[in-house]
Every structure is written in structure tokens, then in C-alpha cells.
Amino acid sequence: MKKVWLITGASRGLGRHIAKAALEAGDMVVATARRTEELAASLPPHGDRLHVVALDVTDRNAAVSAADEAVARFGRIDILVNNAGQAQLGWFETIRDKQVRRQFEINLFGAMNVTRAVLPHMRKHRAGLVVTISSVNGLVSNPGGSVYSASKFAIEGWMEGLAQELKPLGIGTLVVEPGMMRTDFLDASSARHGDIDIPDYAEAIAAFQAFISGANHRQPGDPAALAARIVRMTAAPPVPPRLVFGDDALAWTAGKLEQLQAQLAWSSGAQG
């Protein structure tokens, strides 16, 4: 049975690759983005199997309208992909409060808005899959990424609990934790840097920004390969609750596990 996908942030990056992979698999796709002209230009036509919807995920009413439109067009939503996101980079003290809040509005509350809009339709059918694109930075945080990681750590906690709430209703979840992906996510169109000048951080920030500039469009992860993997996984349930993707992500996650094991051993000994 062909599936119906609703994908946020589908005009570029990983979202566009997932939309293309789902269409190539013969599925139906409701592709959303803030600007539909970008969507029309980035996705090849697939007749009546592709439906384009304008959606700003921070707008709760727009999320409900997008979900309702998807169901009106295709009858159901089988797979939701929460992909829309943005990176607020920089040292914490250099990032303004409104920038921190904007990070959470897009990455966390935006995904919540769309999920809240879609779940009633999935509950009606007692079936569905919620795929949320997190990051290895939802497991591991680094200097220059504390605010971005905070939004992804929040996604991890939300989805871990939500998965247990939805499982009895026949609805599955998948959290995807990629490493650095070869997309335009580090471009100025997606990534922002803190703009409060604090000399104590100047040297570290300069080195970090040089790293970001050098890594942009040279990241090791292949978004087309990840998109294909996600589509294959959904075609062969049961879908595991977590996918760590990329050699860098696997190495960082393994390092975090070792760190936690050492800290647990110390904590156990300290209490003995």
C-alpha cells in the first residue's frame, strides 16, 4: 500500500531529499515550506502524487490547516516528517534572548505544532509514524552549539515520552540523529551566529566560525543516502525508534556513552 507523507521544510536540504525519495518510491507527498515558490523549483513534478502547501511551522493555525489539507487531498497521513529547522550557533553569552527563543520556536515548538495537528488524524486510523529529525547534537553538545543542542536535547526528551504515549494507539515514532550533512544548513539562510561582542570569547569564536565556513558544503554525510534509508525503513516495519546516521555521529555517540558509563561508575562509587 502506498503511503502518504507530510514533510516540513521540504524545499531544500534533507527535507527535499526525503520528498524526492518518497515520490520515487511511488508514494504520495504533501511537501511544505514557508515559500511555495522554492518548493515548486526544487521538486520535480510527479502529477497528482505531489501536493505543495505553504507552512510556517511556528504558526499553529497554519499547521492545522496543512494537516487538514493533506487529509482532504489524499484521505490520510501515514508518515509525518518534522524536518524544518534552523541552527542558532555561537557562545551562549553572545546570543540574545530573542534568538534563543526563536531557536526553540522553530526547532521544538514548530515540530510540536505540526505533530499536534497531525496526531488526531493518525489516532482516527490507529496507525501512523512520526519521524522527527533531531541531530547527533541532541545527544552531544559542543562549544558554539549550546543553544542549538538545547533545542535538540528538548526534542529527544519530548519524543522519548511521546513514543510511549502513542505506541498503544498503533502510532510509531522515529528520531533521526544525523552527523554533519552535506546540505546548506550552515549557510546564512539557515544558520545564525551570536552577535554580542565579548572579548573573552573572541579567539574561540573566530576559530569556530572558520571551522563552520570550511565545513560548509564539505560535510561528510550524504543527505540523499539518509533520505533513501528513511524511506526504506518505513517500507519495512517495525521501524526502530532511533537512527544515528553517519560515521561522525556514530563516533560521537559512542564517545558520549563511554563518558556516561564513566560518570555512572564514579557516581556509584561516590555513593558506596
Residue with cell 543527505: 223
Give backbone dihedrals phi and psi of 256, rounded to 5 degrees, phi first.
-65, -40
Annotated catalytic residues are 134, 148, 152
d(CA 112, CA 35): 20
Give the residue among 85, 83, 60 at the shortest CA–CA distance from 6: 83
3-state helix, strand, coil in the chain (%, to 5): 55, 15, 30
Max intra-chain CA distance, the chain: 66
Contacts of 267 (CB under 8 A, 6+ apart): none
**Exposed (0-12), middle (13-18) or buried (19+): which is 241, by Cβ within 10 Å?**
middle
Give me the residues paired with residue 54 across strands: 33
3-state SS of 177-207 is EECCECCCCCCCCCEEECCCCCHHHHHHHHH
Buried residues in 78-99 as b, exposed as e (16+ CB within 10 A): bbbbbbbbbbbbbbeebbeeeb
Query: Residue 227: helix, strand or coil by DSSP?
Result: helix
